[in-house]
Chains A and B, each alone.
Chain A
Amino acid sequence: MTDRIIALWQAEERDAKGFAPAELERKARAFRRRIALRDAIEYAASALVAAIFVYYAWAARDWRMTAACALVIVGMAVVVRGLWSRRLTPLPAALGEASLRYHRDQLVRQRDALVSVWRWYIAPTIPGVIAFAAVVASIAAERTASDLAWLVMLPTLAFVFTVFYAIHRLNLRAARALQAEIDQLDRGCDEPDSPSAAVDTHR
């Protein structure tokens, strides 16, 4: 009874053809250019921010500001290095893996990336943010002979860290959803190609 729908299905797209290797090579080059442009924009933006902090350090002529800006730049360099090392680099051979295993590996990779965001993306920026805010408040307090700068800076810092925490929680929630998908795959598969490697997504 299902033969008819199968026949209808296979009658679709019967004239579809492949592409000439030269055309595929052109598409591959266009893809590489797109990725290179995206990377260039990302790193140029980081370089611009670093340049702004170098200028702050130079303009303030205060060793505390120099140290704070150096911390910000070092933190940013760690983040950029993290972005670079986590660039998506699937090997052609990986695409030839059994679908379930490939899909599971992708989910695991995405889950692990989300769980580790705080470690390689958020944490490296924290010392710089705290130091910069403290130095700005300290210099402002000295110049105005008032503690008002600290009163402004503390809620600002609290707001920044609330945002960081919210990002962390959202990432954990997304990681839990991915873990649920992985568990579902493992339950529906009587021969999982790799053991379930659940991670703690409740921190």
Chain B
Amino acid sequence: MDGGKASDGDGSDRLYAEACAVYAPALARLARSVESDPDRARDLEQDIHLALWRSFDGFDGRCALGTWVYRVAHNTAAGHAARGARAAKLVAIEDAGELLSAENPERAVGATRAVDRLRALIARLRPADRTIILLYLEGLEAAAIGEIAGLSSGNVATKVHRIKSLLAAHFASGDPS
């Protein structure tokens, strides 16, 4: 793998800066959702930024900047997750409710933050479902999620409906802090 850029250019740097101005927080949240260890999450965040910076040499503007950023970020993160968690049994969003119901009640009640529980859940999801729930949490519509994930908006809408039910059932109280 060539770690450098095929061609340097102010255009790529400008696109990268433009992307960071809007999406850097989402990229950090993605890294922290995929990697629970804080140091490794920081490394993953850097890897995502590096991949994104390099990727702009191949960006031809056929999709929106945001679509490109999310695609590169999620593809890089998925590679990291696949290397680190082959042994872990991943579940579909349809089975995620069972996972949360089986959670130790003390832990669930005592969890300092709902976001931490949500991150733990996301880490256990299959890659496609993980992408959809993360993009939903970033506030994207079904059509935009479908373009990033490569699914029809109808399929995404069904998944989003399940995600909403799941969040309402298990995270409705939100973060007490």
Given A27-B46, A28-B5, A28-B50, does the pair A12, B29 have CB atoms closer than 8 Å?
Answer: yes
- CB contacts (< 8 Å) of B79 on chain A: these are 106
Secondary structure of the B contact surface, majority rule: helix
Q: Which of B25, B128, B147, B174 sits near A5, CB closer than 8 Å?
A: B174
B118: chain A residues at CB < 8 Å are: 5, 9
Of the residues A12, A16, A87, contact of B115 by C-beta under 8 Å? A12
Does the CB pair B151–A100 fall under 8 Å? yes
The residue among B6, B20, B72, B163 with the most chain A CB atoms within 10 A of its own CB is: B72
Residues of chain B with a CB closer than 8 A to A13's CB? 25, 28-29, 32
User: Is A185 a contact of B150 with CB atoms below 8 Å?
Assistant: no
B19, B29, B150, B151 interface centre (most CB from chain A within 10 Å)? B150
Residues from chain B with a CB closer than 8 A to the CB of A102 are: 71, 75, 78
A65 to B156, CA, bound (A): 65
Type the 1/0 row for B1-28, where 1 means its CB is closer than 8 Å to any CB of A. Answer: 1111110000001001101110011011
Q: Which of A17-25, A50-58, A113-121 contacts B (4 or more CB under 8 A)?
A: A17-25
A144 interface hit (Cβ, 8 Å)? no
Decide yes or no whether B139 CB sits under 8 A from chain A. Answer: yes
Q: Which residues from chain A contact B131 at a C-beta distance below 8 Å?
A: 99
Chain B residue total in the interface (Cβ 8 A): 69
Which bucket holds chain A's interface residue count? Answer: 35 or more
Taken residue by residue from 135 to 177, chain B's Cβ proximity to chain A (1 for < 8 Å, 0 otherwise) reads as 0111100000001111110110000000110011001101100
Choose one: B49, B54, B71; the contact of A18 (CB below 8 Å). B49
From 59 to 89 in chain B, residues with beta carbon under 8 angstroms from any chain A beta carbon are 59, 63, 68, 71-72, 74-76, 78-79, 82
Among residues 6 to 58 in chain A, which have CB atoms less than 8 Å away from a CB atom of chain B?
A: 6, 8-10, 12-19, 21, 24-25, 27-32, 35
Q: State the 7 A-B residue pairs at the shortest beta-carbon distance, nearest first.
A: A18-B20, A98-B150, A93-B58, A31-B3, A16-B28, A13-B28, A100-B150
Give 10 A-B pairs besides A8-B175, A12-B32, A99-B150 with Cβ atoms closer than 8 angstroms. A1-B167, A8-B114, A9-B29, A19-B49, A21-B13, A32-B4, A97-B71, A99-B75, A184-B126, A189-B151
Contact residues of A with B, CB < 8 Å? Answer: 1-2, 4-6, 8-10, 12-19, 21, 24-25, 27-32, 35, 87-103, 106, 184-185, 188-191, 193
Interface residues of B, Cβ cutoff 8 Å to A = 1-6, 13, 16-17, 19-21, 24-25, 27-29, 32, 45-46, 49-51, 53-59, 63, 68, 71-72, 74-76, 78-79, 82, 92, 113-115, 118, 126-128, 131, 136-139, 147-152, 154-155, 163-164, 167-168, 171-172, 174-175
